[in-house]
């Protein structure tokens, strides 16, 4: 009896081994908890069913924040990248981003290897049917094979598998992804427990055999041969540069789509659910933008050793024969052979306003949700949610305070706060525009912002935190150093300034002031300095990481804006420090509008700040609520620092 119990009892059970499930499982196991991860197909761990890429605007912020906290995604992106680019180079640092094309199969292998070689972690292939509850607490799960697994906490990370339905033209069948079993019963269990659920839809384009593609008719879109990386804990390197190619749809393509639009699931009624607005199908683009004569199509590699190419921009779930005609109408794809057709997939998700900031359910203790089941899209959004759920489940079991991320300190905080306060009408995707503090929440300073929290959690080691502390000290040192070095007008400095389209100096001025000029690049100035002995005598540029000087330049050039943003954060932080008891009866608070009473009662915000961001709750409602809270007792939100 004891042997059986030891094999079926765990501290934490994770249901699903996608990007959310993997990060949750690794976090729990690395924190010392006996962890079980159950997945439908053990050979499809951390699969990238859509574009095999990591990063992008907004998404890079999430990946680097996850890395700073001790997550895995950035490390494996560095290990498996086959092309990497810097996006928004001409724009400010707040919206710049890395985007890496990933070797799809290598990433799966690397993640599976990470799971299999992590102490305290057990990986099993099984489909979960029911959530087991006792005294309003989660105690485990029941699988379709009839085996019960028991635990102190359960994290649901099921992706698109809950009653998943594949649609291609007028054909549909149950599947989580093409060729994979769905989870048909777990939704029933969740609904019986009282969870409100809805359905979303997403889609993916066809893949073609690259040997049948004429790349000579396309524009090459290579990666960049630059030294960079995702993970703060790795050294910069130049990555493989397997190129992508750019082509375009044309009038012939659009005519095929228009002539067959009734076969499109979005027109035939086969698909009635909302899909991601940021990634419309080619059918929808032709319908919505009838005046456009062409749309871009990027032909991107799926892996170093794969002949499959991904057609970004050509998403469709039309019948397969029509898909083939659409593909063959595009320049360079005249003879391309589809090896995997595009398809749409519908799936169930849990309305995320039923969750706390920790991603624990408000209905049942020790039940957590992460990833697409919360209404998000994207590998990066899923991964950070998995990490947050895993860490908080582990800390609760260990008797420690939760880790709650604020909007003002991370994009992770923005993501979770948006999910639990705003109404979702489509799968949620992270954009930099979603953050009101994006100037201070940059990708380049994620380690400085969050590594201390990762160290407190126990997933960032002492050597790593010392590296971050040393980086902070060096940044402060060089800012003060450049402020102390005074340049006098001479021919050399003025020639340098003129060559960089900057005005000459006619009086002594600090290097700091020179570097404040937007047209002066710090590395150009350091190179000039090294050729002119006497300007920066103490500085041996080659002995310092370039990231140090990039941070110095950002802090100097944007100081006024950064200080202003920090002042706003300080002013607004007070509102997030008023903790609201979850048992508060809003209908008893006089003066609140009926809409505010209904919304607040349904969402049950944790803080006054969160309440202020709920649609339908006015500033007047917040003032009344603030007066009410002050008349009772003022609570402080747990600090992560």
The CA–CA distances, whole Å, from 243 to 59, 206, 301, 387, 603 equal 22, 19, 8, 32, 47
Listed range (288-297, 370-379, 619-628) with the worst mean pLDDT? 619-628
Architecture (CATH level 2) of domain 462-570: Orthogonal Bundle (1.10)
- Residue partners of 509: CB distance under 8 A and separation at least 6: 486, 487
Please compute, for residue 451, the number of CA atoms within 13 A of its CA located in the half-sphere on the CB side. Answer: 24
Residue 381: the pLDDT is 98
Beta carbons within 10 angstroms of residue 624's beta carbon: 17
Higher pLDDT, 493 or 3: 493
Tell me whether strands 35-39 and 9-15 are parallel, antiparallel or unpaired. Answer: parallel
Q: If you average pLDDT over residues 363-383, what whole number do you get? A: 97
Task: Name the percent of the chain lying above pLDDT 70.
Answer: 95
> Which of these, 128, 204, 133, 195, lies nearest to 162 by C-alpha position?
128
Residue 189: both structure tokens together: 């269990």
Structure confidence by residue, pLDDT tens digits, 152-184: 999 999 999 999 999 999 999 999 998 899 999
Q: Which of 189-203, 256-270, 539-553 has the highest mean pLDDT?
A: 189-203
Residue 599: the pLDDT is 85
> Which of these, 403, 401, 445, 424, lies nearest to 96 by C-alpha position?
445
Domain ranges (residues) in the chain:
462-570, 578-632
Average pLDDT taken over every residue of the chain: 91
Residue 590: the pLDDT is 86
DSSP lists the bridge partners of residue 459 as: none
- pTM check: above 0.85: yes
Query: Given a cut of 90, is residue 194 above it in pLDDT?
Result: yes
State whether residue 365 is helix, strand or coil. Answer: strand
CATH number of 578-632: 1.10.150.570
Structure confidence by residue, pLDDT tens digits, 30-42: 999 999 999 999 9
Q: What are phi and psi of 84, to 5 degrees?
A: -145, 140
Separation of CA 296 from chain center: 25
Residue 108: the pLDDT is 97
Structure confidence by residue, pLDDT tens digits, 540-588: 565 677 888 999 999 999 888 888 888 877 766 677 777 888 888 999 8
Residue 467: the pLDDT is 94
Residue 267: both structure tokens together: 């027109």
Task: Name the percent of the chain lying above pLDDT 90.
Answer: 69
DSSP lists the bridge partners of residue 584 as: none
Q: Please give the torsion angle defined by the CA atoms of residues 257, 259, 264 and 270, in that order, rounded to the nearest 10 degrees.
A: 170
Residue 465: the pLDDT is 97
Residue 2: the pLDDT is 38
Higher pLDDT, 147 or 614: 147
Positive or negative torsion for Cα 182, 188, 194, 196: positive
Higher pLDDT, 589 or 336: 336
Residue 536: the pLDDT is 63
Q: How confident is the model at residue 305 (pLDDT cuts 50, 70, 90)?
A: very high
The CA–CA distances, whole Å, from 408 to 415, 552, 565 equal 12, 22, 10
Residue 418: both structure tokens together: 């948006």
Q: If you average pLDDT over residues 473-492, what whole number do you get? A: 90
Please check whether residue 136 is in contact with residue 146, taking contact to mean a CB–CB distance below 8 angstroms.
no
Residue 144: the pLDDT is 95
Residue 5: the pLDDT is 46
Query: Given a cut of 70, is residue 533 above it in pLDDT?
Result: no
Q: How many degrees, rounded to 5, is the angle at CA 320 between CA 298 and CA 271?
A: 90
Query: Given a cut of 80, is residue 638 above it in pLDDT?
Result: no
Structure confidence by residue, pLDDT tens digits, 245-258: 999 999 999 999 99
């Amino acid at each position: 009896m004891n042997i059986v119990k030891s094999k079926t009892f765990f501290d934490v059970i994770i249901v699903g081994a996608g990007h959310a499930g993997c990060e949750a499982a690794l976090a729990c196991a690395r924190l010392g908890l006996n962890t079980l991860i159950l997945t439908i197909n053990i050979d499809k761990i951390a699969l990238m069913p859509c574009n095999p890429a990591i990063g992008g605007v907004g998404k890079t912020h999430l990946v680097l924040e996850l890395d700073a906290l001790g997550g895995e995604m950035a490390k494996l992106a560095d290990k498996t990248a086959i092309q990497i680019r810097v996006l928004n180079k001409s724009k400010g640092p707040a919206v710049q981003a890395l985007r890496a094309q990933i070797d799809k199969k290598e990433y799966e292998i690397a993640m599976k290897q990470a799971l299999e070689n992590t102490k305290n972690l057990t990986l099993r292939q099984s489909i979960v049917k029911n959530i087991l509850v006792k005294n309003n607490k989660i105690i485990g799960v029941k699988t379709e094979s009839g085996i019960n697994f028991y635990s102190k906490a359960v994290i649901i990370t099921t992706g698109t598998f809950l009653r998943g339905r594949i649609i291609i033209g007028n054909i549909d069948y149950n599947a989580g992804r093409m060729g994979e079993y769905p989870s048909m019963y777990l939704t029933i269990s969740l609904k019986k427990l009282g969870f409100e659920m809805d359905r979303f839809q997403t889609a993916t384009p066809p893949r073609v055999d690259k040997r049948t593609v004429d790349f000579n008719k396309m524009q090459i879109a290579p990666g960049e041969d630059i030294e960079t990386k995702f993970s703060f804990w790795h050294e910069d390197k130049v990555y493989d540069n397997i190129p992508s190619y750019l082509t375009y749809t044309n009038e012939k393509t659009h005519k095929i789509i228009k002539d067959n639009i009734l076969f499109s699931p979005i027109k035939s009624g086969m698909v009635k659910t909302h899909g991601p607005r940021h990634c419309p199908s080619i059918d929808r683009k032709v319908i919505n933008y009838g005046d456009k004569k062409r749309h871009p199509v990027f032909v991107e590699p799926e892996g170093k050793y794969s002949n499959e190419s991904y057609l970004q921009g050509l998403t469709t779930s039309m019948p397969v024969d029509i898909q083939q005609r659409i593909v063959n109408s595009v320049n360079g794809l005249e003879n391309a052979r589809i090896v995997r057709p595009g398809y749409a997939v519908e799936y169930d998700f849990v309305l995320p306003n039923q969750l706390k900031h920790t991603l624990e359910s408000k209905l049942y203790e020790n039940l957590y949700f992460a990833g697409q089941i919360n209404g998000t899209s994207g590998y990066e959004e899923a991964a950070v949610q998995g990490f947050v759920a895993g860490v908080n489940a582990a800390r609760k079991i260990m008797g420690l305070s939760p880790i709650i991320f604020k909007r003002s300190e991370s994009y992770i905080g923005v993501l979770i706060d948006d999910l639990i306060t705003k109404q979702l009408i489509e799968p949620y995707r992270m954009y930099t525009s979603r953050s009101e503090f994006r100037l201070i929440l940059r990708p380049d300073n994620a380690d400085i912002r969050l590594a201390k929290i990762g160290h407190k959690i126990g997933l960032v080691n002492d050597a790593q935190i010392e590296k971050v502390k040393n980086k902070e000290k060096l940044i402060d040192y060089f800012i003060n150093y450049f402020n102390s070095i005074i340049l006098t007008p001479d021919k050399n400095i003025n020639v340098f300034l003129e060559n960089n389209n900057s005005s000459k100096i006619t009086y002594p001025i600090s290097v700091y002031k020179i570097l404040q000029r937007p047209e002066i690049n710090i590395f150009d100035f350091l190179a000039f300095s090294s050729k002119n002995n006497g300007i920066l005598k103490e500085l041996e540029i080659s002995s310092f990481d370039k990231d140090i000087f990039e941070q110095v330049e950002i802090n100097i050039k944007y100081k006024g804006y950064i200080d202003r943003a920090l002042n706003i954060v300080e002013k607004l932080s007070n509102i997030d420090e008023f903790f609201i008891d979850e048992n508060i009866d809003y209908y008893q608070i006089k003066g609140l509008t009926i809409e505010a009473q209904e919304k607040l009662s349904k969402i049950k915000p944790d803080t006054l700040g969160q309440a202020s961001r709920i649609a339908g709750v006015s500033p007047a409602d917040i003032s009344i609520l603030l007066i009410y809270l002050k008349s009772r007792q003022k609570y402080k939100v747990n600090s992560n620092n």
